[in-house]
Amino acid sequence: MTVRAEPIAGRYELVEEINSGGMGQVWRGYDGVLDREVAVKLIRPDVAGTPEEADEFAKRFRREARVTARVQHHGVPQVYDAVLDRPHDQVYLVMEYVRGTSLRAFIQPDRPLPIDWAVAIAAQICTVLSHAHAVPVVHRDLKPDNVLVTEDGAVKLLDFGIAAILRTDVTRLTGTGGLVGTHHYMSPEQIQAAQVSPHSDLYALGCLLHELLTGRHVFAAATGFQLMYRHVKEPPPAVRQWRTDVPEELERLVLELLAKVPEQRPPDAYAVHQRLLPFLPPPGAEPPTVGPELSGMPDPTLLYRRPNAPRPAPAPAPPASTVEEPATPPVVVRVDTALRNAIRDALAESTELLEQDRYAQAAEVLENVIALAGDALGMESRQVLVLRARRAASLLFGGDYRRALPEFDALVGAYTRVGGAGNPDAVDCLRQAAYCRAELGQATAALRQFRQALDHVRDDGGDANQTALDIRRSIGLLLLSEGREAEAVAELQPLHDDLLLVYGADDEETREIADILTRLRRQQP
């Protein structure tokens, strides 16, 4: 046992180091204020080599910790605190401490799991993902090492947000041409450094379920590049090739989860859970019979014999905005002093909160005054549109894409009615709506909106201004995530040429696009 001399933030005593790996160290500890056991994760400090990188890492850490803390489900260890010591070389997440057996211990090459055990584990993961994706939070690093099964058979998903904090959720080339980030559970779009969405977690779930049923990885390869190529290009092997007692419908589900194009996978985790239900033991069923090799292991079917339902599927997202309504003139009224002061105070308070990265609170402050101002001035008055746009941006910055999307769509319509489709505010909101849709996995609609926004930006300022470059990058990465590689190259190659001219070869974004193009060329037969 190792005890750290000084408590973290004056209250978290580190008692025992229980794990150490790529993300840093994990300690068992105690919260001295609430007198409860906690897990304290020391995030690897070597990701920040310069003061600028340290500041960027600090912002990313705070954002991901806050977004992850919004996932309210018993299958996710709750985030209690996030501690960031200056100068950012000691960064801690304080979380619920969970005792359990790693899913890695359940997987043996010569011992595939009973079908109902494998399905019960996958179904519980779906339950957790349905809640996380509703935020939305994408895990980005779903693998056996990040799954625990507790003594009562409950599945816990660990390390939400850690991959995004450390940026280990995409592949990249090192200076020697080696790959960082590739592993057996990474989706094609992550391998290609394209848009990550909830569908990326579904691909990783397909890899896990295939391995639980067969005891084998979906793909194996001698090198990282070969493994990457197989995930991106080769069709996955059928489960029944290795195990004939797996039902055909279950095999079909695994193959759909492993589709190369994200939108060809099942629509969401809830839909996957529904298709797993027929293979789960019904409520009140007797415990399944297992061999001696699983004796003493937690039984993951327990929660289905004692039902544990997932979050229902969310309502379908609204379609991309098309503006056909006639222009509605804003309401003209006299603004009283109290309302004027309320608007001024809300703008000032939200500015202060945004500077502190407290996005949810900023959105709430603005929402309260929007209701008052909308009643008095009209929802499309200049003052109210400013408030609404700031609230939508607060939700976006906080990662709450599902709530931000309908507001950006509505703002596109409002600004278009006020100033026409080319109105810079309308174009900016159109672009932000596209970004929300991309994050929510609605690639087709996102591409359409990005292209509409790009047309307006090009008309106004050409092809190489910063906004146009950002939109072109988003379009290229979305095309790549959809498996439309030729179209992606057609977008990314001229983008790279323009980035070279505007920012030079050493610019981070120039290098990123060059890296993607290099990887695509290496994959050509």
Domain match, 139 and 259 both: yes
Same domain? 111 vs 254? yes
Show Cβ contacts of residue 360 under 8 Å, excluding neighbours closer than 6 positions: 66, 394, 398, 400
Same domain, 50 and 139: no
φ/ψ (deg, to 5) at 283: -55, 135
Q: Are residues 87 and 110 in the same domain?
A: no
Identify whether residues 183 and 127 lie together within a single domain: yes
Question: Same domain for 87 and 231?
Answer: no
CATH of the domain at 155: 1.10.510.10
48 and 108 in a single domain? The answer is no
Q: What is the DSSP letter of 389?
A: H
Q: What CATH number has the domain bearing residue 89?
A: 3.30.200.20
Q: Are residues 203 and 218 in the same domain?
A: yes
* Rounded Cα gap, residues 361 and 447, in angstroms: 31
Residues 89, 202 within the same domain: no
**Inside any domain, residue 91:** yes
Domain span at 54: 12-96
Claim to verify: residue 85 and residue 123 sit in the same structural domain: no
Sheet holding 90-96, edge to edge: 12-21, 24-31, 36-43, 90-96, 79-85
Catalytically active residues, by annotation = 141
- Identify the domain boundary among 96, 111, 132: 96
pLDDT by residue for the chain (525 residues), tens digit each? 455 557 888 889 898 898 776 567 889 999 988 888 999 988 766 655 667 777 777 777 777 778 778 888 999 988 888 887 665 567 788 989 999 999 999 998 878 899 999 999 999 999 999 999 998 889 988 999 999 999 989 999 988 877 666 655 566 555 555 555 557 999 999 998 888 999 999 999 999 999 999 999 999 998 888 998 999 999 999 999 999 999 999 999 999 999 999 999 999 999 999 999 999 999 888 887 787 878 889 999 988 887 755 666 666 655 655 544 445 555 444 556 888 899 999 999 999 988 888 888 899 899 999 999 998 889 999 999 999 999 999 999 999 999 999 999 999 999 999 888 888 999 999 999 999 999 999 999 999 999 999 999 998 878 888 999 999 999 999 999 999 999 999 999 999 999 999 999 999 999 999 999 998 888 776
Tokens of 389: 């746009």
Position of tokens 């979050």? Answer: 311
Number of independent structural domains in the chain = 2
Tell me which amino acid residue 149 is: V
Based on the fold, state whether residues 72 and 187 are members of the same structural domain: no
The type of residue at 238 is A
In a domain, 376, yes or no: no
Q: What is the DSSP string of 349-381?
A: HHHHHHHTT-HHHHHHHHHHHHHHHHHHH-TTS
Mark which of 305, 336, 367 sits at the end of a domain: 305
Do the Cβ atoms of 265 and 257 come closer than 8 Å? yes
Q: In this predicted structure, what is the pLDDT of residue 472?
A: 95
Please give the Cα distance from 170 to 96 (Å, whole number).
27
Tell which of 72, 96, 120 closes a domain. Answer: 96
What does the alpha-carbon distance between residue 144 and residue 359 come to, in Å, rounded to a whole number? 33
Are 114 and 88 part of one and the same domain? no
pTM for this one? 0.83
Classify residue 196: in a domain, yes or no. Answer: yes
What does DSSP say about strands 79-85 and 172-173: parallel, antiparallel, or unpaired?
A: unpaired
User: Does residue 324 lie in a domain region?
Assistant: no
Placement of tokens 């090009």 in the chain: 458
Token pair of 405 as six digits: 């999307």
The answer as to whether 410 is a domain residue is no
